[in-house]
């Protein structure tokens, strides 16, 4: 069974559930302790040892259901070494029975078994199958209608042809053929021909039955191989998907896949949290304060028992985010806000403003609704009119300029295209003078800055940092640098 579990680990890794060597060893130990008798317990045990977050847990559940699945594709046995075949088969049958009792597919399988049992009377008519001399193992299994045995045979064949190596769709047919050879389809074929040539009507009847069963069995093998392929490759290999999502221009991403993108964002956020939380703490405790230590230890006769550390008050930074939500920029804006509000543990004081022709605060949306809803509301409310940077900056000046001080960072995300209206760069200058840092993120490539109605050259002198920002990777980089500055 170990081999089966190792294959399962491989699949989990492919689906982005990290399985380290220690965890693999733990999982094997857990399985050894519990056995395979109870599917629920097996799932609980493997889940407990292998899945380490809610996200991984749900991924694990999907993989478990897909991999340890009955009836057609019981991979319990797909990769096993069958050193003690008979004993193993017996165990396997018991296991199967138990799995059947607990699985969701039980009903479907029972129906299947019932139908195969229904077909038995026909066989009982030809009670003397053996007398008729059905020699091939596959033929016997098919005629008796024992689904379990067929599944075991299929799983053994899968192991022999190393089905777990199937990762490319065009090889599906080849693997299926190899499996059928291993399962004894060619022998069965010869046998059917043999029966058909006999004159005995009973033999003809058996031949018909065998042929019918054979085509059903072939279908099952194809289905099994197909499902294994899906599991091995996943039509969405998580890592490749993540890489593509990170590198694609956010405007080109299909927002129907918002959940996928959001998952990638959450992962990036966790990474940022892990890095910056530690940094914050390191910064938290200062050096040894000698005078205070001496004073504190006077009562111990000058013995230095209790050191006193200098503590610096943690500077809670203020972050103002102004996002352009006009059509060309809205996707990037949405994800920037998602990023920043996901980091509320590190950035508790984010104030978000959205603008196109007018500017308004949207922080309250993020406090009340889920991130996705808040982003949708923001875009819906502000994206209708044409962009006017001058007016939007005037609005910001009126609401917030007086609050800005040397703890404030202002992030502006926009393409700087103001429809030839007055861009009011003087207000940006005022912001630049008061705030600790002004960061401008532009989703357009640099060579387009200053072309047409782009006012970037006017804004540029009043930004501490000016960067292109089109993909999730760019966003992560920007947020990372904002957090680093606050940690210093």
Q: What is the C-alpha to C-alpha distance for residues 26 and 39, in angstroms, rounded to an integer? A: 18
Pick from 54, 86, 254, 367: which binds another protein (CB under 8 A)? 54
Interface with another protein includes 323 (CB under 8 A)?
no
Dihedral sign for Cα 381, 383, 388, 390, please: positive
Interface with another protein includes 45 (CB under 8 A)?
yes
Site for another protein in 341-360 (CB under 8 A): 345
Q: What is the C-alpha to C-alpha distance for residues 318 and 348, in angstroms, rounded to an integer? A: 8
Instruction: Please give the full DSSP string across 69-119, using - where no structure is assigned.
Output: --STTBGGGTT---TTHHHHHHHHHHHHHHHHHHSTTHHHHHHHHHHHHHT
295 CB-contact burial (10 Å; exposed 0-12 / middle 13-18 / buried 19+): exposed
Interface with another protein includes 29 (CB under 8 A)?
yes
Interface with another protein includes 273 (CB under 8 A)?
yes
Q: Which is nearer to another protein, 257 or 273 (CB)?
A: 273
Q: Could you tell me if 302 and 325 are in contact, meaning their C-beta atoms sit under 8 angstroms apart?
A: no
Q: Which is nearer to another protein, 29 or 135 (CB)?
A: 29
Q: Which is nearer to another protein, 348 or 445 (CB)?
A: 348
Q: What is the C-alpha to C-alpha distance for residues 387 and 327, in angstroms, rounded to an integer? A: 10
Interface with another protein includes 278 (CB under 8 A)?
yes
Q: How far is the CB of 238 from another protein (least distance, A)?
A: 18
Query: Which window, 41-49, 85-93, 112-120, 410-418, contacts another protein (CB under 8 A)?
Result: 41-49
Q: Which is nearer to another protein, 365 or 432 (CB)?
A: 365
Q: Residue 107 is encoded by which pair of tokens?
A: 């009903």
Q: What is the C-alpha to C-alpha distance for residues 208 and 211, in angstroms, rounded to an integer? A: 5
Q: What is the C-alpha to C-alpha distance for residues 408 and 382, in angstroms, rounded to an integer? A: 24
Interface with another protein includes 405 (CB under 8 A)?
no
Q: Which is nearer to another protein, 48 or 184 (CB)?
A: 48
Q: What is the C-alpha to C-alpha distance for residues 470 and 476, in angstroms, rounded to an integer? A: 11
Interface with another protein includes 295 (CB under 8 A)?
no
Q: How far is the CB of 300 from another protein (least distance, A)?
A: 6
Interface with another protein includes 305 (CB under 8 A)?
yes
* Interacting residues toward another protein by CB under 8 A: 20, 22-23, 26, 29-30, 33-34, 40-41, 44-45, 47-49, 51-54, 57, 270, 273-274, 277-278, 281, 300-301, 303, 305-306, 345
């Amino acid at each position: 069974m170990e081999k089966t579990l190792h294959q399962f680990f491989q699949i989990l890794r492919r689906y982005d559930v990290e399985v380290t060597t220690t965890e693999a060893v733990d999982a094997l130990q857990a399985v050894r302790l519990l056995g395979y008798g109870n599917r629920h317990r097996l799932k609980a045990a493997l889940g407990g040892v292998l899945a380490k977050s809610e996200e991984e847990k749900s991924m694990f559940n999907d993989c478990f259901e897909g991999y340890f699945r009955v009836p057609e594709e019981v991979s319990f046995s797909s990769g096993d070494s069958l050193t003690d075949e008979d004993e193993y088969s017996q165990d396997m049958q018991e296991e199967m029975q138990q799995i059947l009792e607990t699985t969701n597919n039980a009903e479907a399988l029972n129906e299947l078994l019932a139908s195969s049992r229904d077909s038995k009377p026909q066989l009982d008519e030809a009670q003397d199958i053996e007398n008729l001399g059905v020699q091939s193992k596959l033929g016997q299994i098919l005629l008796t209608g024992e689904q379990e045995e067929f599944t075991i045979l299929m799983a053994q064949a899968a192991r022999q042809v190393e089905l777990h190596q199937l990762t490319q769709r065009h090889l599906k047919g080849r693997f299926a053929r190899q499996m059928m050879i291993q399962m004894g389809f060619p022998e069965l074929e010869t046998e059917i021909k043999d029966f058909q040539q006999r004159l005995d009507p009973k033999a003809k009847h058996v031949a018909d039955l065998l042929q019918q069963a054979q085509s059903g069995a072939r279908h099952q093998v194809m289905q099994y191989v197909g499902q294994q392929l899906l599991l091995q490759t996943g039509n969405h290999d998580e890592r490749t998907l993540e890489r593509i999502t990170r590198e694609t221009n956010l405007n080109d991403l299909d927002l129907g896949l918002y959940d996928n993108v959001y998952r990638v964002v959450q992962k990036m956020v966790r990474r940022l949290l892990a890095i910056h939380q530690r940094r914050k703490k390191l910064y938290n405790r200062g050096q040894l304060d000698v005078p205070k230590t001496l004073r504190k230890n006077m009562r111990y006769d000058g013995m230095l028992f209790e050191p006193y550390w200098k503590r610096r008050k943690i500077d809670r930074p203020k972050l103002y985010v102004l996002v352009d939500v006009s059509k060309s920029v809205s996707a990037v804006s949405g994800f920037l806000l998602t990023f920043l509000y996901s980091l509320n543990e590190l950035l508790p004081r984010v104030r978000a403003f959205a603008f196109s022709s007018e500017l308004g605060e949207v922080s309250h949306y993020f406090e009340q609704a889920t991130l996705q809803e808040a982003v949708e509301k923001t875009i819906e409310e502000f994206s209708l009119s044409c962009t006017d940077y001058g007016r939007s900056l005037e609005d910001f000046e009126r609401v917030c300029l007086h609050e800005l001080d040397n703890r404030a960072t202002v992030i502006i995300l926009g393409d700087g295209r103001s429809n030839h209206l007055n861009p009011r760069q003087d207000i940006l200058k005022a912001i630049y003078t008061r705030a600790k840092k002004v960061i401008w993120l532009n989703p357009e490539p640099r060579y387009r800055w200053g072309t047409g109605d782009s006012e970037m050259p006017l804004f540029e002198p009043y930004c501490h940092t000016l960067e292109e920002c089109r993909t999730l990777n760019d966003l992560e980089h920007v947020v990372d640098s904002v957090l680093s500055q606050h940690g210093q």
